[in-house]
C-alpha cells in the first residue's frame, strides 16, 4: 500500500507491542495487504527489550506510527493512549500476534456503516501457529459467553472450525453476542466515548486480562450491541492456549501452566468486574452457581496458589475507586438487571 499521511482515516488501528520481534512482520504485512485501505496504524510499544521497534521502523516506517513507552504501561493503558491519539470513526484494537484476513477491514467497516447501533464487531478468530507461520482451522474465539456462575469463556475455543454451530460458519452470519475478545475487535468510536470513565476506555486498574470483558459489560450497560461477524476472519497466535474441556480438573491443569502474576491478575480482575458491573438483584438471582464457583476457586487458591491471594490486597487498596466506577456505571446504565439475564447462557 502507498505511504500513509496521518490524516483522519475511516479506521484507526491500535496495536500494543512488547517483545514481538519474531513475528511482528507478519502482523503488519497482513494489515498492509488489506483490500480496504482508508486506515492508519499506531503502535504503542511497551518498552520492548528486543528488536520490535527497530523492525517496525526499518520495514514499515512509511505506514506505521510508533510511540515507544519508557516502561510497560500494560494493555489497558496502552490501548487507551492509542485510542486518544487517533481520529478514525472506527477503531480496530488488536493484539501483536494477530494476522488479519485481507478482507477483514472491508467487511467490518461495511457492517458498522450499515448497522448504526452496533458498538463493536467481533470477527471469527482462528489459531495461528507462529513458529511455522501456519493458519490453523481451530477456533480461538467467536466472542465471549457468560454463564450463571459468571464464568466467562471464549465461544467455541479449541474446537475445529467445521465442528462449531453451523450458524456461526454461514458466510453472512451476524450474531449478537454478550462480549468481544480484546485480541481483535473493531469499535465504533462513538460507543467508546459513550462508555468511558474519566479518560479511560479500558479500565487501567486491570493492567491486563479481562479488560475486554469489563468493557463489553459496560457497553451492554449502555445498550450498545456487540455482534459476531463470520466473514471478518483473523488468526491469533495465542501464547497461553485454551482448553477444550472446562472440567475442574482441566481448568486446574491449565492454571498450572500460567505465570503466577497472570493468575493473580486474572482472578483480581474477575472480582473487579463483578464489583463494578453486576446488579445486586442478579447476584441474588444467580447466588447458588455464582457462590459455588467462587468458593471452589478460593479453596484451590488457599491450598495451591497462595500468591493469587495478593488479589485481595489490591481489592482493598482500590475498593473506593471501584465503588466510584460502579456508581457511575449503574447510574448511567440503560440495561435493567432482567435484560442482562438474557445474555447469560444456560
Nearest in space to 304 (alpha carbons), one of 251, 232, 242, 240: 251
pLDDT per residue as tens, the chain (346 positions): 334 444 689 999 999 999 999 999 999 999 999 999 999 999 999 999 999 999 999 999 999 999 999 999 999 999 999 999 999 999 999 999 999 999 999 999 999 999 999 999 999 999 999 999 999 999 999 999 999 999 999 999 999 999 999 999 999 999 999 999 999 999 999 999 999 999 999 999 999 899 999 999 999 999 999 999 999 999 999 754 555 545 666 666 656 667 889 999 999 999 999 999 999 999 999 999 999 999 999 999 999 999 999 999 999 999 999 999 999 999 999 999 999 999 999 8
Q: What are the Cα distances from residue 285, in Å, to 259, 282, 345?
A: 34, 5, 14
Q: Does residue 68 lie within any of the structural domains?
A: no
Q: How far apart are CA 191 and CA 217, in angstroms?
A: 13
Q: Do the domain assignments include residue 36?
A: no
Q: Show the beta-strand stretches assigned E in 73-115.
A: 90-94, 98-100
Nearest 5°: phi and psi at 49? -100, 0
Given a contact cutoff of 8 angstroms between Cβ atoms, the answer to whether 15 and 27 are in contact is yes
135, three cell numbers: 493458519
Domain for residue 16, yes or no?
no
The verdict on pTM exceeding 0.85 is yes
Residue 13 covered by a domain: no
231 alpha-carbon distance from chain centroid? 19
How far apart CA 18 and CA 76 sit, in angstroms, is 13
What is the chain's Cα-based Rg?
19
- Is 25 among the domain residues? no
**Amino acid 259: pLDDT:** 83
Give pLDDT, residue 8.
Answer: 86
Residue with cell 470513565: 197
Query: In this structure, what DSSP letter does residue 197 have?
Result: B
CA distance 232 to 34: 12
Name the residue range of residue 142's domain: 98-188+196-346
Measured CA distances, 11 to 38, 184, 185, 209, 337 (Å):
7, 14, 12, 25, 34
The residues pairing with 121 across neighbouring beta strands, listed in sequence order, are 186, 227
- Please indicate, yes or no, if residue 328 is contained in any of the structural domains: yes
Across the strands, what pairs with 310? Answer: none
Report yes or no: 218 and 329 within 8 Å, Cβ to Cβ.
yes
CA distances 36 to 99, 100, 108, 142, 177, Å, are 15, 12, 10, 22, 25
User: CB neighbours of 168 closer than 8 A, spacing ≥ 6?
Assistant: 124, 142, 155, 156, 175, 228, 230
Domain assignment present for 279: yes
Q: How many domains does the chain have?
A: 1
Is residue 322 one of the residues assigned to a domain?
A: yes
Amino acid at each position: 500500500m502507498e505511504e500513509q499521511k496521518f490524516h483522519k482515516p475511516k479506521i484507526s488501528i491500535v496495536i500494543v507491542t512488547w517483545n514481538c520481534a519474531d513475528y511482528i512482520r507478519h502482523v503488519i504485512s497482513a494489515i498492509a495487504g488489506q483490500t480496504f485501505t482508508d486506515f492508519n496504524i499506531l503502535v504503542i510499544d511497551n518498552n520492548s527489550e528486543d528488536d520490535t521497534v527497530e523492525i517496525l521502523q526499518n520495514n514499515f516506517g512509511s505506514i506505521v506510527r510508533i510511540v515507544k513507552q519508557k516502561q510497560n504501561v500494560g494493555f489497558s493503558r496502552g490501548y487507551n493512549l492509542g485510542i486518544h491519539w487517533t481520529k478514525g470513526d472506527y477503531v480496530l484494537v488488536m493484539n501483536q500476534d494477530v494476522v488479519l484476513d485481507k478482507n477483514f477491514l472491508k467487511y467490518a467497516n461495511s457492517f458498522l456503516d450499515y448497522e448504526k447501533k452496533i458498538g463493536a464487531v467481533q470477527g471469527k478468530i482462528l489459531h495461528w501457529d507462529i513458529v511455522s507461520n501456519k493458519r490453523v482451522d481451530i477456533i480461538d474465539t467467536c466472542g465471549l459467553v457468560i454463564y450463571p456462575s459468571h464464568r466467562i469463556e471464549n465461544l467455541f475455543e479449541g474446537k475445529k472450525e467445521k465442528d462449531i454451530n453451523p450458524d456461526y460458519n454461514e458466510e453472512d452470519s451476524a450474531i449478537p453476542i454478550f462480549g468481544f475478545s480484546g485480541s481483535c475487535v473493531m469499535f465504533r468510536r462513538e460507543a467508546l466515548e459513550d462508555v468511558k470513565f474519566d479518560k479511560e476506555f479500558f479500565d487501567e486498574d486491570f493492567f491486563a486480562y479481562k479488560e475486554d470483558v469489563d468493557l463489553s459489560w459496560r457497553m451492554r450497560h449502555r445498550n450498545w450491541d456487540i455482534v459476531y461477524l463470520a466473514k471478518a476472519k483473523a488468526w491469533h497466535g495465542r501464547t497461553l492456549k485454551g482448553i477444550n474441556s472446562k472440567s475442574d480438573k482441566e481448568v486446574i491443569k491449565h492454571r498450572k501452566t500460567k505465570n503466577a502474576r497472570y493468575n493473580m491478575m486474572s482472578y483480581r480482575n474477575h472480582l473487579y468486574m463483578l464489583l463494578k458491573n453486576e446488579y445486586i438483584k442478579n447476584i441474588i438471582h444467580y447466588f447458588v452457581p455464582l457462590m459455588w464457583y467462587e468458593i471452589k476457586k478460593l479453596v484451590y487458591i488457599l491450598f495451591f496458589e497462595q500468591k493469587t491471594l495478593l488479589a485481595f490486597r489490591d481489592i482493598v487498596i482500590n475498593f473506593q475507586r471501584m465503588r466510584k466506577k460502579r456508581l457511575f456505571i449503574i447510574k448511567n446504565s440503560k440495561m435493567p438487571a432482567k435484560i442482562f439475564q438474557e445474555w447469560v447462557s444456560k
